[in-house]
Structure 1
Amino acid sequence: MSMTLYALLAILSGLMIADTRAKRVLAAYVAIAVITTVVTFPGASATLGGFALFGIATALKVVLAPIGIVWFLRRNPEAEDLRAGAPLPVRVLTVIALIVLSRSVERLPVAAALPLQSIVAFVILCGIAMLVMHRNVLADLLGLLVFGAGITLEGALAAPQLPEAVELGAAFDVLVTTFIGLALLRTLHQRGLLDVDRLKSLRG
């Protein structure tokens, strides 16, 4: 089961890193969010408070965040191109390197006592890779959402006795990342600064 889950996440994460079309990358993020949500459900549903916060976090991650991003793309269609920062072969090799690296995590003593650590590591590394592999700031927002999904998954696995705290953190993370992020994206777009390279040039 874990290998099937890992393979599915590898395909979706590979699509996020290798593709440059925002809507396809967004669809891959939604699939990753759904998978990680299903994994965390048993622990989150153990208490009434955890279940309620789980529902809020899931609605934010799987429904409201994607709707907000689609709304932004409809108003700013030029943001659809995530502007890859490396050629396709390099992006594909990056995905392979992340698979090898994440698979080695389970051999670490600190990870031996926890389940699914290679999957957690892969999701988190995918989020980090999104931050460096594309030049459109929208890709950074998507990368942060994936990174947050990985952190939430790790929290649920490492502290199953604290479902309320984990889901509250997940809800707050998605809320801040998406809606403050979209507000910043709109401001940057109005100033023609969605390209990461242009933002770096402002440092002088």
Structure 2
Amino acid sequence: MPLPKDTMFFGFRDKLTPEQRIYVDSIFDNRITFVNAKSGTGKTTLAVAAAKLIGKPLVYVFSPVEEGRMGFRPGTQREKEAAYITPLTDALAEIGETPEKAIFNPEDFAAMKRGDHWVYPMSHIFARGINIKDKTVVISEAQNFTRGELKKLLTRCHDSCTVVVEGSTIQCDLPDESKSGFSPYIDHFRNEPYANVCELTVNFRGQLAQKADELAW
């Protein structure tokens, strides 16, 4: 079923562009949605909003692609992750959620007892061997995942999951862009009856960001 008719979708419903509406409906309609999106198109905010309505815990997966070039960050795992989940925390704030309350914190026993946590960020590094069931899974900046890394993640997901693979084919940060798994997996799933591929092309940050995103090489 598409976006339920009885919800204002956190105030976004009447503001959605046709592309965004197709994207949101796809998340509700399909087991897996790929979105090839320019910067500033709302891809993460809309995915997180959809996850909240779907009602399953949200697993937000990121790739620490910069670690090798910048040097490994000091601190706890949670402190290291903070630099990579800014899109997630921004999206939660956009839908009226308090990130510190919604995002799992193993040290906040009171929040766990109250059941406040429904968002679980993780690096793909820790995905080997896990089973992901009855979750909404958002794979962020998927162009920065290699074929092997995306395979590792997607093969963890049971059919009870709703999966969103979001990325941009023109903003890859891998040292060798040809190793990205984003485009190959789009093509691999494109004709499956439970999958859909969407595009978001309007950058809402403004003319400067939109123009910068048009240059590809």
TM-score interval (norm. to shorter): under 0.3
TM-score by length of 2: 0.25
TM-score by length of 1: 0.26
Which is helix-richer, 1 or 2?
A: 1
